[in-house]
Amino acid sequence: MWWRVYALLAKEFLNLLRDKKSRFVLIVPPLVQLFVLSYAATFDLNQMPIAIYNEDTGQASRDLIARFTGAPAFREELRITRQEQIAAALDSRQVLLVLHVGRNFSRDLLGGRQPASLQVLLDGRDSNTAQIAQGYLRSVLSRFNSDWAASRGQAGPPAELVLRAWFNPNLESRWFIVPGIVGLLTLVVTMTVSALSVAREREQGTFDQLLVTPFTPTEILLGKAIPGLIIGVLEASLSIFFAVFWFRVPLLGSLPALYLGIVLYVFSVIGVGLMISSLSLTQQQGLLGGFLVIVPGVILSGYATPIENMPELVQHFTLINPLRYFLVIIRGVFLQGLQTADLLDQYWPLAIIGLFCLSCAGWLFRRRLY
C-alpha cells in the first residue's frame, strides 16, 4: 500500500513542480504577501500629519512644540495662524490633529497656575486611529510635564502611574501581526493546493486513469493529502524563518509545541480543502470554494479583531475555524513562551476538525468514484 501511495506522492509533486504556474503560486506570492503585509499591516502610527496653532511666544511653548515635531510619530504639516483655519484643516483631512497652545501657556506654567491653556483637536472619523494618536499625545505631554517639574525642582504628582505591557514591552504591533500572517499565508497556500488537487485531475482528464489503477480510494486520498501537508509545513517554516530572522519577532516558546500545532493546523486545512475538491468538477469551482472558506476564516479568526468583541452567535461559528486555534498557538509560542502542555486545549479541536473533514472528503471521494 505505501509503495502505491509513494508513487502517487511522486506524481503529485511532479505535477506541481513541472507546471511553471504552480511553482510561481507556491513560492512568489506567499513571500510577497509576507513582506507587504508585515510592513503595511501595523497598528503603529508614524509621521502623523499635525497642525500647530501657537499663540504663545514663551520658551515653554517652543519646548513643547519641539517635542512634538521631533517625535517620530508626528510630522508638522501645517502652521496655523488664525482660529478659522483649524476647522478647514481637519475637515479636508489635511491633518489628523491640531495642537493649539494658548497665549498664556508659558505664563501659567511659570506662575504655577493650573491648568495651562493647551488644546488638542483630533479627527475622530477613524476612532481607532484617533485613540492611538491620543495615546502618543499623552506620552509626549507626560514626558514634558516630568522634565519641566524636574528642571525647576517642583514636587511631582502625589501618585505616579507606571504602565507595563506584558509579552510585548515596547508595544510593537509587528510582533502581533507577523505571526498571524504566518497562519494566514499557510491557510491560503494549503487550501489552494488541496482544493485544486482532485478538481485538477477531473479537468485534465487524468481522473479516469486513476480509476483503472489498483489504488484504493483511501490510498488515492492519502496521495492527495500528504503533498499538501508537506507543502503547508514547508510554507509555514519559511514564513517563520523570515519572522524570526528578518522581522526580529522573538520566538520564546518551544519549537516542538509550535510544529505540532503547524502539523495539526495544516492537517485540518487539508481536510477542508479536499472536501471542496471532491465536490468540484473544475479548478475554477475549486478556487471559488477555497475563496469562500478563506475569507470568513480570516475574518472569524481573531486576526484583526478580538473574538470576544463579536456577537455571541458569531463566536460559536469561530469554534469550527482552524485559523482561530492556530493564531492562539503561534502567538502564544512566539510571545508568551508557551509549551506543549499549555496548548493542549488548542491541539485537540484542530485534530477533530481535521479528522471530521478528511472523513467527509473520503466519503465524498468514494461517492464520486463509484
Q: Order of strands, edge to edge, in the sheet holding 48-54?
A: 74-80, 48-54, 97-101, 118-122
Give the pLDDT of residue 158: 41
Give the pLDDT of residue 159: 41
Q: Which residues of 168-206 are buried (b: 16+ CB within 10 A; e: fewer)?
A: eeeebebbbbbbbbbbbbbbbbbbbbbbbbbbbbbbeee
What does the block give as the cell for 292? 469562500
Q: Can you tell me the distance from the alpha carbon of 147 to that of 136, in angstroms, rounded to the nearest whole number?
A: 17
Q: CB-based contacts of 294: which residues, under 8 Å, 6+ apart?
A: 187, 188, 191
Task: Return the residue matching grid coordinates 503561534.
Answer: 330
Name the DSSP class of 301. Answer: T
Give the pLDDT of residue 141: 84
Give the pLDDT of residue 160: 46
Give the pLDDT of residue 25: 65
Give the pLDDT of residue 268: 95
User: Which parts of the chain have pLDDT scores under 70?
Assistant: 1, 16, 19, 21-22, 25, 33, 36-44, 112-117, 125-128, 153-165, 207-208, 210-212, 368-370
Give the pLDDT of residue 114: 60
Q: Residues 134-170: pLDDT tens digits?
A: 888 888 888 888 887 777 766 655 444 455 667 787 7
